[in-house]
Amino acid sequence: MGAVIFDLDGTLIDSEPDIRATLNRVLVASDLAPLDKAQVTGMIGDGATVLVQRGFAARGVAAGARELAAFLSDYEENSVVETAAFPGMAAALEALRAAGHVLAVCTNKPEAATRGILAGLGLEGYFAVVKGGDSTPYRKPDPRHLAAVLDALGASEAVMIGDHENDMKAAAGLGLKSIFVRWGYGQASGDYSVAEPGELPGLIETIFK
């Protein structure tokens, strides 16, 4: 069976509420106005450093190391307050595992935060490999980030699932099939697209036939 690699934010989990709450606390601590859901959703996908830079830039201020450190410290303590797996995702993961697929996560979020969230949501047991944005010198859309996941899995055949153009570009760079999930935060075109997690097991079985 082939490997199935998932993005995290906007794909496996709805993390925007906690990301927004943390970012807004850091902004308010700097006497800046908070951001709304639509603004923050559009900032997610390129890792914590870029997120913080975008958040402060939206208020006309440049963010530095201090602001990033404040964000990471706060988020570490508050990453699973409102964050949850998307409805139907746990069942989809269970079906994929039962079908014999090996599962992994490739995200631009820092690895420690990713593992903490997966553990907090009871999802960590599904994934053989987890690579974050600080796990390698590369980040999606650089295909070498995704290649590191394949190397760790010892897999040559895989499909990438994500909600962002970074995911689709990383897969294309390795010649892998991609599935765009329409419930997430980004806009992109993959080889396939799905509207709900329950569609994934059947589609993946078809891809690997």
Q: Report, as residue numbers or ranges, the catalytic residues.
A: 7
Residues 6+ apart with CB under 8 A from 128: 102, 103, 104, 153
Question: Could you tell me the end-to-end alpha-carbon distance of the chain, in angstroms, rounded to an integer?
Answer: 9
Give the number of other CB atoms < 10 A from CB of residue 188: 19
- Which strands, in side-by-side order, build the sheet including 177-181? 129-131, 102-106, 3-6, 158-162, 177-181, 192-194
User: Is 192 in contact with 178 (CB distance < 8 Å)?
Assistant: yes
C-alpha distances out from residue 43 to 49, 62, 114, 199, Å: 11, 15, 18, 27
Cis omega (within 30 of 0) for bond into 17: no
Residue 49 in tokens:
């450093």
Residues 6+ apart with CB under 8 A from 95: 201
Residue 98 in tokens:
């039962």
